[in-house]
Chains A and B, each alone.
Chain A
Amino acid sequence: MNRMLAIAWKEMIQARRDRLTMGMMVGLPIIQLLLFGYAINTDVRNIATVIYDQDHSAESRGFVRRMEATGFYDVVGHVDGYEQIGVALRSREAMVALVVPPRFGAEVEAGRTAQLQLVVDGSDPQVVASATDTAMSLASARSSVLSIERLQRLGQPAAMPSQVITVEPATWYNPDLRTPVFIVPGLVGVILTMTLVMFTAMAIARERERGTLEQLIVSPIRSAELTVGKLLPYIGVGYLQMSLVLGVGSWVFDVPIVGSLGLLYLLSVFFIAASLAVGLLFSTLAKTQQQAMQMSFFFLLPNILLSGFMFPWEAMPAPARWLSTILPLTHYLRVIRGIVLKGASLEDLRAELIWLAGLTLFLIIAVSLRFQKKLD
């Protein structure tokens, strides 16, 4: 009993002296709770929506207004043609598009069936079902109102269809709503984050732990030579992992690769560089490999939960979305899903790229400020 208590006592003292571990023990449950309880919400709201109104009638405007009133759709703009819907969806300006056919108002007026089309981005299957369901119930509610009005006006049931307004859902990019199609490209980003951040953080911490870092900084090697030389092999590792996941994904899980692989590989360099820079930053803060490992794990959690990898980004409250905006993975997921699933072009991805490049630059500056060829 005494022996056991001696061990427990020693363990407690060590845990208390290790500030980072202590912080993790207290901080992790709280952060997990906040992330899961507050940020993770599968009730999608405020979905960015564009309207392709070929009718411009009172009825079509009314329908759009009622859509907005649900709080579910957030009309971000009007487009003119299916081509523009494609651009909006690929650039993630919108996830849903409502297409109102010509003469929609006149058909409704005449009591004939009028069909609306709801184009939904299928690359995130979690959004699709609720997006179409909401529109369909709006349509049937409006149909009932119209039937009652007509009944009152004519005083007798008219020969009219049971539902005047119908919604035809159209799912673009991943029409079968298969989860692997959604997950696999995202997994590339998560795996790259996981390995690259951890590997670089540990790689420098290991040199510090073994004393070889001191030998390196006493040599005439430049900081840039040291860091870039250190990172170069891991860039290769990053590309290898990416190719593996995509290769196996398309071979085993039938994930279609719609866009240009060349573009993807080219743009991935930003994300790989950003992840490596995060790892380097951790390595300048961590004194041991264990600390580097803990920091990487700490970093991974919000990446998986907030980036949109598992849970719909659109469903998160604003603070969680702001936080996720500074995570490189959030932007990279849009880039890789955009290219792989939607065939997005460089032009479509411009906004995400500006973010990604900006974050990378910021991280590299932060690292070069932190990483000095000095001992303290």
Chain B
Amino acid sequence: MEDPVVAEGLSRNFGKLVAVSDVSFRVHRGEIFGLLGPNGAGKSTTLRMLCGILDPSGGRATVVCFDVAKEPEQVKQNIGYMTQRFSLYEDLTVEENLHFYAGIYGLGRRERRTRVPEELDRAGLRERRAQLSGTLSGGWKQRLALVCATIHQPPLLFLDEPTAGVDPVSRREFWAHIHRIASAGTTVIVTTHYMDEAERCHRLAFIFRGTLLDIGTPAEVIERRNIRVGVVSTSDVAVAIDLLTPHPAIDEIAPFGDRLRLATLGGVDPVALAHEVLGAGPGVGDAREIVPNVEDAFVAMVHSEARNGDGS
């Protein structure tokens, strides 16, 4: 069976600004696929092109076998889309919002009458169904927005920074829900700049300044960076940073309270490096190597990109 999303050389300009440049990837069925990148990297633009609401300037993409530029309306039939602003009508109640979106997606009156209460129950929104959605907390708004975006049970779900402004507990619940949806066969594409969320995806695409830097499972992406990370405590963090920064093997130093997080390139042991550089100065207290995460990989990739960019 054809992959539900195939992007080939997708590009988009806004006037002179290149928002997305030559992005290609495939998303498999039932997968949670993350588009990861900083703000303004082109994640949302890519998503909007895939949804058929923004014409690509170049390249092509097919979504559930429909070309996004030529058959945007067929694409729209088959997708759910949730924006970062949740797009709820704040002056409508929870139930009214759901009824509205059910109607927009062409659900019949009878179907709506059974589906809406079902979905309200499932999302735990039953007690709040008469509440104006504008008065809901961020987490509940997000839940309602997700129900609204999936009321027509689309095979493909696009989530554009779905957890912006939502507390950690609600975010966890949200991701658990996303995984349930995916294991039921729905393909999910999600944009985020939260690195902990990126690790919950099956596969990731890193987007930076409109170009795709890497694509793969979180483990693959981290592996390819070939970095080692250590956590080191020291008596004077500011001095330690000044001492470590010039060292060529250092990719990144980030202070965390009285500790430093060190990322090194070329297989250099970060703990040994810290002892070597800081031993004579502020000294090294507790130090250990840890497993690099997606955030480390991402930072390393951005640094490497910046170095290459400067060289050219």
Contacts and interface: CB of A to CB of B under 8 A. Distances in A.
Contact of A375 (B54, B105, B148): B54
Contacts of A212: 87-89
A374 B87 contact: no
Nearest to B105: A219
A182 B249 CA distance: 88
B45 to A, nearest CB: 9
B137 interface: no
A216 B104 contact: yes
Nearest to B14: A376
Given A220-B106, A374-B55, A215 B81 contact: yes
Nearest to A223: B73
A218 B77 CA distance: 9
A218 B54 contact: no
A216 B106 CA distance: 13
A312 to B, nearest CB: 45
Contacts of B210: none
Interface string B244-274: 0000000000000000000000000000000
A221 B48 CA distance: 17
Contacts of B86: 211
A374 B89 CA distance: 20
Nearest to A211: B85
A210 interface: yes
A215 B53 contact: no
Which residue of B52, B54, B87 has the most chain A CB atoms within 10 A of its CB atom?
B87
Contacts of B73: 220, 222, 373
Nearest to A214: B83
B188 interface: no
Nearest to B79: A218
A194 B55 CA distance: 36
Interface residues of A, number: 16
B202 interface: no
Nearest to A225: B104
B53 A220 contact: no
Given A211-B85, A375-B48, A218 B53 contact: yes
A202 to B, nearest CB: 14
B83 A211 contact: yes
B76 A218 contact: yes
Contacts of A376: 14, 54-55
Contacts of A374: 53-55
Contacts of B88: 212
B181 to A, nearest CB: 18
Interface string B39-59: 000000000100111110000
Contact of B53 (A210, A211, A214, A221): A214
A284 B14 CA distance: 19
Contacts of A219: 76, 101, 104-105
Interface of B: 14, 48, 51-55, 72-73, 76-77, 79, 81, 83, 85-90, 101, 104-106, 148-149
23 contacts: A210-B85, A210-B87, A211-B83, A211-B86, A212-B87, A214-B83, A215-B101, A215-B148, A217-B53, A218-B52, A218-B76, A219-B76, A219-B105, A220-B76, A220-B105, A221-B104, A222-B73, A373-B53, A373-B72, A373-B73, A374-B53, A374-B55, A376-B14
User: Closest 7 A-B residue pairs measured CB to CB?
Assistant: A215-B87, A211-B85, A218-B81, A220-B76, A220-B77, A219-B104, A212-B87
Interface of A: 210-212, 214-222, 373-376
